[in-house]
Structure 1
């Protein structure tokens, strides 16, 4: 740990180098970080993986390590987030952060407002680290929040990197499916999210305003709130987990009585749900992706605080809202948007009649 005089204050500010942060993350991840770029080119790090939907030019390589910036860069203020966006970059700039650590893989332009990192991040003196697969399975937080002790975890079920499957047993205080729903409602602070949303609706005058976390509560799609819970399978549908994977998992763990999916969601008519009903299993949709900053980001931030005492660490949480176009409340910007559309984008097009 080094110290330097803060400009104009005479006070000492502790700092480390970006490489020291990678070392700390390597300790947290039990040696999964890329410490040498040869691990990428030689393919020796199993947590360097390609993610693709086979759309030409849209694949991305996950590289858990320092993606942008000099490893000797001075770092005193770190932001921990989930996904790199231009909003995160601009907030980091305003807060004078030195380094961003994000969970999800990053890609030029897609993660940086349509422009390359090399043109954007140097404006604000930002270095950038990503983790993703290197962080999966390191702590039991997601399962504990959802009411069970994990007994077994596979982070590449059926050989697919990131296709995580947890097998667990219910906590002593969790007896029913309703207990899990109530546990999530209380632990995740949904009352705070609701109060914030109601206040924003009133302030903006936007009655139809919705927010990602509040709009996605935990739900019970198979079973009843009184249905007993003990043996649990917990997975994440967006990782490539298929119905065949579920059938295989149930063969491996035939004692299962409850299925939990979280981070990503399924709807009530999804084949997972229909299969659970057919087999008489409880099916719970748990926390949405929008709270992973709390599930995974918060433990990571506190671990860094333990390893890098004196360094300022901030949790960067994006809040996503939506509002019906007819309800946008800021009238000056409504008129601006209409003028741009009617004068420049589709001139001569008559204005649609508003139906209330």
Structure 2
């Protein structure tokens, strides 16, 4: 006889997340307009109509909705919604903020999620800084964390000390590669290249490996500053952090990245500091999603929890391997998308 999963409801899942996040979740919708919850944050690049309010709580669905199968993901997409549908999940919990249409295949949640009886919770800033795993994976123990460095919400700065056995910049890179299991990713990519016949296939994680941009592999590491450039962390912020922690010998940036010509790297070289770019955003599902999923599994015994991990690849158009779809794509473009016979002749 098959074991029937335990049933809870969306409200109880929200309460579990509120406990995990130390009371940061929106438990009452009035918190959004009242300003009571500091983790309800507007994110905007000042592009008209493109801003979003982060609401760490139940964004779509009813608290009384029965839940027995939960998916934990990083960024909501139509692919994730379709996967949840096929697996008959009841609730999706994502880290990043969601927005109508942008996160749901161009349509409102109210038209899409009810088709599959899905509820939806987001967390983001409410989850940041709750565990030391991200710094551990990068080879250091955090001794201080500021989640609003320089007064900017979400601008996270970790101050850390190298773990035992991590003595040099090369050790730090090797530690990270080992913990992330990138040998598996490399083998998977090689197998996919062979199966698809797409030898120039790229994959997001392996296309963004950890790198040492300043310093040498044998240069010592001990005192680390670890931050995330995409949060708004600026060169002024870095100089401020170095004044606060003058003992720093190593800078680590992760989730988002910078290139070798970035001013951050220039400053590190000027001061003789190691500068390491670590994990890309594409593996945050392991860094933050996996601990959250295991915590939920412990707090909601019997409820099935799944990790929803997306894998993004790219291939040059001329190397797409499946012949039938190549023919389909070319015929649709040639016969329907090119505006005139003369344009078609040029394009083909």
Q: Say whether the fold is shared (TM-score over 0.5).
A: yes
Q: Within the alignment, does 1:248 sit opposite 2:243 as a pair?
A: no
Question: Aligned in 2, Cα 1:247/1:10: closer, same or farther, shift over 3 Å?
Answer: closer
Partners of 2:141 and 2:2 in 1: CA distance: 50
Instruction: Give unmatched runs, 5+ long, in structure 1.
Output: 1-8
Q: What is the DSSP-based 3-state SS (H/G/I as helix, E as strand, rest coil) of the residue aligned with 1:13? A: coil
Q: Within the alignment, does 1:350 sit opposite 2:342 as a pair?
A: no
Question: Aligned in 2, Cα 1:310/1:238: closer, same or farther, shift over 3 Å?
Answer: same
| Runs of 4 or more consecutive aligned structure 1 residues displaced over 3 Å after TM superposition | 9-13
Question: Aligned in 2, Cα 1:37/1:266: closer, same or farther, shift over 3 Å?
Answer: same
Is the contact between residue 235 and residue 263 of structure 2 (CA under 8 Å) also seen in structure 1? yes
Partners of 2:123 and 2:4 in 1: CA distance: 31
Aligned to 2:297: 305
Q: What is the DSSP-based 3-state SS (H/G/I as helix, E as strand, rest coil) of the residue aligned with 1:163? A: coil
Count of residues in correspondence between the two structures: 345
Q: Within the alignment, does 1:113 sit opposite 2:105 as a pair?
A: yes
Aligned to 1:215: 207
> Structure 2-normalised TM-score?
0.98
Aligned to 1:100: 92
Aligned to 2:120: 128
Question: Aligned in 2, Cα 1:11/1:154: closer, same or farther, shift over 3 Å?
Answer: closer
Aligned to 1:155: 147
Encode CA deviations 1:233-282: one digit per residue, 9 max, x unaligned.
00000000000000000000000000000000100111100110001000
Aligned to 1:234: 226
Q: Within the alignment, does 1:32 sit opposite 2:27 as a pair?
A: no
Deviation at 1:13, TM superposition (A): 3.3
Partners of 2:167 and 2:276 in 1: CA distance: 14
Deviation at 1:350, TM superposition (A): 1.8
Q: Within the alignment, does 1:271 sit opposite 2:258 as a pair?
A: no
> Structure 1-normalised TM-score?
0.96
Q: What is the DSSP-based 3-state SS (H/G/I as helix, E as strand, rest coil) of the residue aligned with 2:240? A: helix
Encode CA deviations 1:138-194: one digit per residue, 9 max, x unaligned.
000000110111011000111111100000111121100000100111110111101
Is the contact between residue 5 and residue 304 of structure 2 (CA under 8 Å) also seen in structure 1? no
Aligned to 1:285: 277
Partners of 1:11 and 1:247 in 2: CA distance: 57
Partners of 2:263 and 2:5 in 1: CA distance: 55
Aligned to 2:156: 164
Deviation at 1:344, TM superposition (A): 0.5
Encode CA deviations 1:185-232: one digit per residue, 9 max, x unaligned.
111011110111111111111111100011111000000000000000
Question: Aligned in 2, Cα 1:228/1:11: closer, same or farther, shift over 3 Å?
Answer: closer
Partners of 1:330 and 1:161 in 2: CA distance: 46
Partners of 1:89 and 1:266 in 2: CA distance: 31
Deviation at 1:11, TM superposition (A): 5.7
Q: What is the DSSP-based 3-state SS (H/G/I as helix, E as strand, rest coil) of the residue aligned with 1:317? A: coil
